[in-house]
């Protein structure tokens, strides 16, 4: 005989019958304690011979419960592992309601506008199978005005698909407003989802990629207790991520108000053809008494690309995802897979005629790894090129003067563009390579009307205070304050300051220096032809004096190098700089402009 005793104090809720054959592992008595049921099982098969308790009895630890006579009792059939329980089936069904396959009408609306769904964009961005979604069962906070079934069907995820996944094996937070759900408006629950994911990004220091499309605050939510909703935390939390983790904004279609604010906080904005970006949409503009405008008239790409709002313009969402993945790659470390450019490219990219213009992008391509360059704000601040690239697989930022625009002179837009890019590189510890070919800072009444003094000085203040490794290569012209700005304030500020054989130097442009410095001598020459010849001779002498090899002989620069040797300087010098592993912010934030 085998006696069963109470393993804990509780109340008897169920018992087997006397004479009942109980297989091993089956409960003979079930006790309730702390609102939970605890089975007292037969260790071997047997027949219940006697019961000491009945339902409702209270027992203490060790009390006798029953007596079993061991006998051969057939084992209980194992639980069918392939069976779907009702509770699991319910969960699966709820999740399925929000998937694209269950929303053909919504998908068709996206197809009519030539766009993808929110889930398609997120899935394309992330490595296959890596997405862990937060809040997919959330619905709009409108239970007081709409049936629950309607909200479940029509407001899946409350219009915000978001979670954590990987890009090239590196974890990121990916989020996308869903324009098919209440026009991508920002509601109570999706604000809370943003708060949650921004907190995850902050704690784990994960980059954030945000697909922003839709309007601002949603007026139709009824389940809250507030008035304006202006105490939501999302914009505070997102702004605090600036400078801590890379923030990538992508937009396609209409992006107004709150969505535009999210977009504008990002380090980089990627926008597709046909997008419209504005801090207020048509309803807000009309409500302010400012006129009636169609959405297409507000912040089109023809405005937002050249004015610098958009960093990368792409044809469609597929291209936007490709650009986003490439952008993130520069913040994911070095790569072993790289190809060096043909050395002959660097040696021939600068024209032998010192007055001939060229596209500095070709010079960049002659230095960096093949197909590694990603330019930002290419249509804004045309006199300055800012790009991310790699040299021998290691990422870096590049700031280069563009002689195709005002001979490479630094104007207000170019200075703003470069200074902000320096902040970006500094925040995430990317070395910076300056490629200098400038006659100096732009001058004249028209230039001064742009607040040039303040804008250009951003380059000096920012350049002097970044702590990442920097290097400067003088491609051709290195004149005046502009050249110093392209070296962080001084030719001795970078880790290296070298020139190509085409380099030329001076406190100001040679022609201007001759006109100012020898004005009296030139004016004293009455014959125009003789004056012109004398002027040209003076310019030539100053050019010889300011040639790179002569400047290097005075050790104002570190060396004059074979252009094809530039990569060795960059790779060796930047690799020698100490690497810092950060656990917090280096800069308070990155200037959005």
Can you give the pLDDT at residue 30?
A: 97
Question: Which residues are within 8 A (CB) of 567 and not within 5 positions of it... i.e. 6 or more apart?
Answer: 340, 367, 391, 392
**What is the reported pLDDT for 78?**
65
**pLDDT reported for residue 15:** 96
* Of 472, 438, 430, the residue nearest 456 (C-alpha): 438
Confidence class of residue 109 from pLDDT cuts 50, 70 and 90? very high
When the candidates are 3.40.50.720, 3.40.50.150, 3.40.50.1820, 3.90.226.10, the CATH number that belongs to 87-329 is 3.90.226.10
Which two three-digit tokens encode residue 177?
């407003």
SS3 72: coil
Segments making up each domain of the chain, as ranges: 2-70, 87-329, 343-503+547-576, 508-546
- The stretch 156-174 carries a mean pLDDT of 97
DSSP 547: B
Q: CA 570, CA 577: separation in Å to the nearest integer?
A: 11
What CATH number belongs to 343-503+547-576? Answer: 3.90.226.10
In sequence order, the 6+-apart residues with CB closer than 8 A to the CB of 149 are: none
294-312 pLDDT, tens digit each: 999 999 999 999 999 999 9
pLDDT of 579 above 70:
yes
- The yes-or-no answer to whether 2-70 and 87-329 have a common fold is no
Q: pLDDT by residue (tens digit) across 436-479? A: 999 999 989 999 999 999 999 999 999 999 999 999 999 999 99
Instruction: Write down the pLDDT at residue 83.
Output: 82
Find, among 504, 503, 477, 472, the residue nearest to 488 by Cα.
Answer: 472
Based on C-alpha coordinates, what's the Rg of the chain?
A: 35
Per-residue DSSP letter, 564: G
Given the candidates 3.40.50.10490, 2.60.120.620, 3.80.30.20, 2.40.50.100, the CATH classification of the domain at 2-70 is 2.40.50.100
Mean pLDDT of 393-397: 97
- Averaged pLDDT score across all residues of the chain: 93
């Amino acid at each position: 005989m085998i006696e069963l005793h109470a393993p804990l104090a509780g109340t008897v809720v169920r018992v087997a019958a006397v004479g009942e054959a109980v297989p091993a592992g089956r409960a003979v008595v079930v006790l309730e304690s702390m609102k939970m049921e605890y089975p007292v099982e037969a260790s071997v098969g047997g027949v219940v011979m006697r019961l000491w308790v009945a339902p409702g009895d209270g027992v203490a630890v060790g009390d006798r419960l029953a007596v079993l006579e061991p006998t051969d009792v057939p084992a209980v059939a194992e639980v069918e592992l392939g069976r779907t329980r009702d509770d699991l089936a319910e969960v699966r069904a709820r999740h399925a309601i929000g998937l694209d396959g269950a929303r053909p009408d919504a998908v068709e609306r996206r197809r009519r506008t030539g766009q993808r769904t929110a889930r398609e964009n997120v899935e394309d961005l992330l490595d296959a199978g890596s997405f862990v979604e937060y809040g997919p069962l959330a619905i709009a906070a409108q239970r007081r005005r709409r049936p629950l079934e309607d909200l479940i069907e029509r407001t899946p995820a409350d219009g915000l698909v978001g979670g954590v996944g990987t890009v090239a094996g590196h974890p990121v937070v990916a989020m996308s407003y869903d324009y098919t759900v209440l026009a991508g408006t920002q509601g109570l629950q999706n604000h809370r989802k943003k708060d949650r994911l921004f907190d995850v990004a902050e704690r784990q220091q994960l980059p954030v990629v945000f697909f922003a499309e839709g309007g601002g605050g949603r007026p139709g939510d009824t389940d809250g207790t507030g008035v304006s909703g202006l105490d939501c935390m999302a914009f505070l939390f997102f702004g605090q991520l600036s400078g801590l983790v890379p923030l990538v904004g992508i937009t396609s279609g209409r992006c107004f108000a709150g969505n535009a604010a999210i977009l504008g906080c990002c380090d980089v904005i990627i926008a597709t053809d046909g997008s419209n970006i504005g801090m207020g949409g048509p309803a807000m503009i009309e409500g302010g008494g400012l006129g009636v405008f169609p959405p297409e008239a507000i912040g089109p790409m023809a405005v937002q690309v050249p004015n610098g709002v958009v960093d990368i313009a792409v044809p469609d969402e597929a291209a936007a995802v490709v650009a986003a993945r490439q952008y993130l790659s520069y913040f994911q470390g070095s790569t072993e897979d790289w190809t060096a450019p043909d050395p002959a490219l660097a040696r021939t990219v600068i024209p032998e005629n010192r007055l001939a213009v060229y596209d500095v992008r070709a010079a960049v391509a002659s230095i960096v790894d093949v197909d590694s360059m990603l330019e930002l704000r290419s249509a804004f601040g045309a006199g300055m090129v800012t790009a991310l690239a790699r040299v021998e697989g290691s990422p870096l930022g590049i700031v280069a003067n563009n002689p195709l625009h005002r001979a490479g002179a630094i104007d207000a837009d170019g200075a703003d563009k470069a200074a902000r890019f320096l902040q970006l590189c500094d925040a995430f510890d990317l070395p910076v390579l300056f490629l200098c070919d400038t006659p100096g800072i732009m001058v004249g009444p028209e230039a001064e009307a742009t607040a040039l003094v303040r804008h250009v000085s951003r380059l000096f203040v920012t350049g002097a205070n970044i702590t990442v490794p920097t290097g400067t290569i003088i491609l051709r012209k290195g004149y005046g304050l502009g050249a110093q700005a392209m070296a962080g304030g001084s030719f001795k500020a970078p880790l290296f300051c070298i020139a190509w054989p085409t380099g030329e130097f001076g406190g100001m442009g040679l022609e201007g220096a001759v006109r100012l410095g020898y004005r009296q001598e030139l004016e004293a020459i009455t014959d125009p032809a003789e004056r012109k010849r004398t002027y040209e001779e003076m310019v030539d002498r100053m050019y010889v004096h300011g040639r790179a090899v002569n400047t290097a002989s005075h050790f104002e620069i570190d060396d004059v190098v074979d252009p094809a040797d530039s990569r060795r300087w960059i790779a060796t010098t930047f690799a020698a700089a100490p690497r810092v592993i950060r656990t917090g912010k280096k800069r308070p934030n990155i200037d959005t402009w």
